[in-house]
Amino acid sequence: MPTKIDFRDCVHQGVAGPTPDHILASIHAEYCMPRASLPALRDGKPAVALGMQLEDFAALARALGHEAFRQLVGDVLRQRDPGSTLAQLPDFLTRHRYGRATPALIDLARLERAVAECERAPDIQSVGLCCLPPELVRTHPDLTLSLHPAWRWLDLAAPVDRWRDALLGGAAIDDAPAPRRVRLRVHPRQGGVSVHRLTTVDFAFETALQGGTSLRRAEASARLAGADGATFDPVRHLQTLLLAGAVIGAQLHPHQDAMRPHSHLTETQPSSPLNEVMP
């Protein structure tokens, strides 16, 4: 008969998610770490999902020049599709003469769109590290996760992250960067947005998790992605994601309902005699 681990709210202020009784001793020993806070406000107003705006593509505007950017925006909004918005600008660039002439502009627009969407993300409480400790994760290789919808992963053909920094920093407008594949993670961080470069192995692992695959399969994807995969530790990497506020839900077994913050997480086998619910 299935047993259930009863959870209760974590005793640490600022940590979202329930905490099982059997790791409370570890929590009181300061094992439990506060989760990263996600931005609830933007310019003093509640963070809500808003449409793309011209200022969201400031680096692209600087790279193209004012007149060319205005023309591009007009071309996007004049499409036959009545629902055309600036959110479609990166995709439109793939068919536009500017994008065909300078493919790095497409990646730059994709990056700026991801940053803007991340900035506008509503506040969603994440699962704390205390709720998915290493010992629990290692014994559940079929674990699947729900990641924060504001987090974005980009596989780009050019290192436009550095180009964007230079453009927004007021540096002289240089030519577009030469093609060189980069993999980026864009996510909320300390009231702002972080654009972080990932190794091939880390990118394979995180995108596999984001796609809903199990921890076991995500680890296999990481190990096949590059030479560094042989030493990859999925549990350690998952801890960094938890600390950054990436995880908003977890499912220990594929057939069970997903865990959500301040809910219950169920087991099909007793993890400890102390946690068994007697009939």
* Beta carbons within 10 angstroms of residue 179's beta carbon: 12
Query: 231 pLDDT exceeds 70?
Result: yes
Distance CA 178, CA 197 (A): 17
**In whole angstroms, what is the distance from residue 154 CA to residue 196 CA?**
10
**Average pLDDT for 273-277:** 27
More confident residue, 193 or 229: 193
Q: Angle at Cα 185 formed by Cα 183 and Cα 186, nearest 5°?
A: 135
Q: What percent of the chain has pLDDT over 70?
A: 70
pTM above 0.75, yes or no: no
Q: What is the pLDDT of residue 39?
A: 34
Across residues 109-123, what is the average pLDDT? 91
Rounded to whole angstroms, how far apart are CA atoms 271 and 279?
17
| Phi and psi angles of residue 116, each rounded to the nearest 5 degrees, phi first | -65, -40
Could you tell me the pLDDT band of residue 262, with boundaries at 50, 70 and 90? Answer: very low
More confident residue, 90 or 129: 90
d(CA 42, CA 115): 13
**Under a CB-based contact definition with an 8 Å cutoff, are residues 157 and 103 in contact?**
yes
Residue bearing the bigger pLDDT, 200 or 76: 200
- pLDDT given at position 263: 38
Which residues lie across from 188 on neighbouring strands?
193
Query: Under a CB-based contact definition with an 8 Å cutoff, are residues 235 and 216 in contact?
Result: no
Confidence of residue 90 (pLDDT cuts 50, 70, 90): very high
**Paired tokens of 46:** 């509640």
pLDDT above 60 for 34: no
What pLDDT does residue 26 have?
38
- Find the helix or strand (DSSP H, E) in which 138 lies: helix 134-138
pLDDT computed for residue 38 by the predictor: 32
Q: What is residue 167's predicted lDDT score, i.e. its pLDDT?
A: 93
Average confidence (pLDDT) over 154-169: 95
State the pLDDT at residue 17: 45
Q: How confident is the model at residue 120 (pLDDT cuts 50, 70, 90)?
A: confident
Which has more pLDDT, 3 or 218? 218
Over range 57-67, report the average pLDDT: 93
Residues 43-56: tens digit of each pLDDT: 433 333 346 788 99
Q: Could you tell me if 230 and 216 are in contact, meaning their C-beta atoms sit under 8 angstroms apart?
A: no
Q: What are phi and psi of 174, to 5 degrees?
A: -90, 170
What DSSP state is assigned to residue 122? P
Residue 121 is predicted with a pLDDT of 82
pLDDT at 30 over 50: no
